[in-house]
Amino acid sequence: MKTNIWENYSGTKRKEVEDFCTKYKEFISSCKTERECVRFAVKEAEKNGFKNVRDLIGSGKKLKPGDKVYAVNMDKNVMLCVIGKEPLEKGLNIVGAHIDSPRLDLKSKPFYESQGFCMIDTHYYGGIKKYQWIAQPLAMHGVVFRKDGTQENIVYGEGDDPVFAISDLLPHLDKKDNQKDVKGEDLNILGGNIADEKVEKNKFKTAILNILKKNNISEEDFFSAEIEVVPAGKAKDCGLDASMIIGYGQDDRACAYTGLRAVLETKNPEYTVVNLLVDKEEIGSVGATGMESKFFENTMAEIMNLCGQYSELALRRALTNSNTLSSDVTAAVDPTYTSAYNVETDAHFAKGISFNKFTGSRGKSGANDANPEFIAKLRKCLDDAGVVYQATEMGKVDQGGGGTIAYIMAKYGMNVIDAGVPVLNMHAPWEIVSKVDVYETYRAYKAFYGMKA
């Protein structure tokens, strides 16, 4: 193994890393859903002079180089854009990350009773090891829409609130071969067990629903709700040297936050820069708010129109001439499970942002295989900026694999490569990253935004 980049951050430079990571920890501690991430991004965008594309359409205002805009899609997908000096059809530099993370979602009809408990039923989202989510404090973040159109944002189980939990069978009574074998239908939350003695039936469920009624939320309102069950509590420093961060949702909010900070700080770029924060990556990038939707393409058409540069052909050229960092986390070599990795070719902590030329599984199936011409250009850009990076794969050949939004961006004929923060125990309720890798990833995205498209 080569150098550990903590050496690059001695003395006063260490403070830069700490300051950045303090803000990052605040972000992942309070933004645990797509909607919370979008709200955060919009607030930061407006603070930094970005204008909503929706407000500009039809206003007669034209965009010029240096102008900053953002667009929101269904409150779960957002993009920020700084207009470059070059015409947009020359291409864009895009950093795209996802803001959905593995979790448990409440079902549309979540409440039922069993053995003197009000239980709350869930359906998991994304690739999880189910046993990791039980017997620990959980919170609920989300939104409920009532029939009258009003909306209630919900955060239960943070701060000094009571938390939620899923119970587990004690080892004494769990003699099956694999104690880690937990069924999806067994991810049931303990809602409470004080009965409402005023009613004949469903005493326990009624008591819990009465509490919700105080917020004017009915049982039926959960049909028009999105409630995500996530680990309760804040991200924390990890290790006696505080070199790491343990927190929920770092896949892929480590890349979302670093990309967002980079775009917010980009002023008067040569080529137009875009930061794209998408939903539904963990379940295949499908749906209206996933990368497969037309939101990005449609919004680029609107932005080009606002710049006075729109034509169908100019839009096609802009997309084809673009570069994208598909910014997603990768698996860091785990010292306890080295047999799953090729330690020579996989990512390590404290070695900087990790580039995967290809992902996919088996014989690269499903991979976007980045062009070496593009990678060479990128190497020069990063080396000139003094960014430390590692060229990696994800696990041993034939061990498994994974996908990102890279192949979807690549459909436009643009150059795309996967680039992001190495993570330990990815998809676990609490994921671990190295502080210097988070900071180096932010520096890489900043440098990339200055690259010739």
| Shortest distance (Å) from residue 22 CB to Mn ion | 23
CA dihedral 351→353→357→361, nearest 10 degrees, is 80
Amino acid residing at 112: Y
Task: State the residue for tokens 């709350």.
Answer: 120
Any idea which residue has 């930094």 for tokens?
48
| DSSP labels, 245-260 | EEETTHHHHHHHHHHH
In the complex, the smallest distance separating the C-beta of residue 95 from Mn ion, rounded to whole angstroms, is 14
Give the binding-site size for Mn ion (rule: CB under 5 A).
3
Question: Nearest Cα to 65, choosing from 78, 41, 81?
Answer: 81
Planar angle of CA 211, 215, 216, nearest 5 degrees = 105
- Give min distance, CB of 329 to Mn ion, in A: 5
Nearer to Mn ion, 158 or 393 (CB): 393
Of 327, 273, 278, nearest to 438 (Cα)? 327
Question: What are the distances in angstroms from CA 378 to CA 51, 390, 436?
Answer: 30, 12, 20
Q: Which residue has the tokens 């594309």?
A: 53
Place of tokens 């549309």: 108
- Stretch in the footprint of Mn ion (CB under 5 A) among 243-251, 330-338, 359-367, 387-395: 243-251
Any contact of residue 418 with Mn ion (CB under 5 A)? no
Name the residue with the smallest CB distance to Mn ion. Answer: 252
Comparing CB distances to Mn ion, the nearer of 276 and 318 is 276
CB nearer to Mn ion: pick between 34 and 328: 328
Instruction: Tell me which stretch binds Mn ion (CB under 5 A): 110-118, 183-191, 325-333, 393-401.
Output: 325-333
Burial class for 367, CB neighbours closer than 10 Å (0-12, 13-18, 19+): buried
Stretch binding Mn ion (CB under 5 A), from 224-232, 237-245, 326-334, 342-350? 326-334
- Report, in Å, the least distance between residue 271 CB and Mn ion: 26
Quick check: 252 binds Mn ion (CB under 5 A)?
A: yes
SS3 417: strand
Min separation Cβ 290 and Mn ion, Å: 13
Distance in Å, CB of 88 to Mn ion, minimum = 28
Interface residue with Mn ion among 36, 251, 431, 437 (CB under 5 A) is: 251
Query: Which of 191, 360 has the CB closer to Mn ion?
Result: 360
Contact range with Mn ion by CB under 5 A, out of 87-95, 105-113, 250-258, 295-303: 250-258
Cβ 61 to Mn ion shortest distance, Å = 36
- Under the binding rule (CB under 5 A), the answer on residue 36 touching Mn ion is no
Q: Annotate each residue in 281-320 with x if it binds Mn ion (CB under 5 A) or - if it does not, as one string.
A: ----------------------------------------
We find the least distance from the C-beta atom of residue 445 to Mn ion, in angstroms, to be 16
Report if residue 100 touches Mn ion, rule: CB under 5 A.
no
328 makes contact with Mn ion (CB under 5 A): yes
Q: List all residues 6 or more positions away from 225 whose beta carbon is below 8 Å from its beta carbon.
A: 106, 108, 142, 143, 144, 145
Q: C-alpha 212: how far from its chain's center?
A: 29
Q: If you search the block for the tokens 């999806």, which residue do you land on?
A: 184
Query: CA–CA distance from 13 to each of 17, 165, 266 (Å)?
Result: 7, 41, 21
Q: Which is nearer to Mn ion, 102 or 142 (CB)?
A: 102
SS3 at position 391 = strand
The residues binding Mn ion (CB under 5 A) are: 251-252, 328
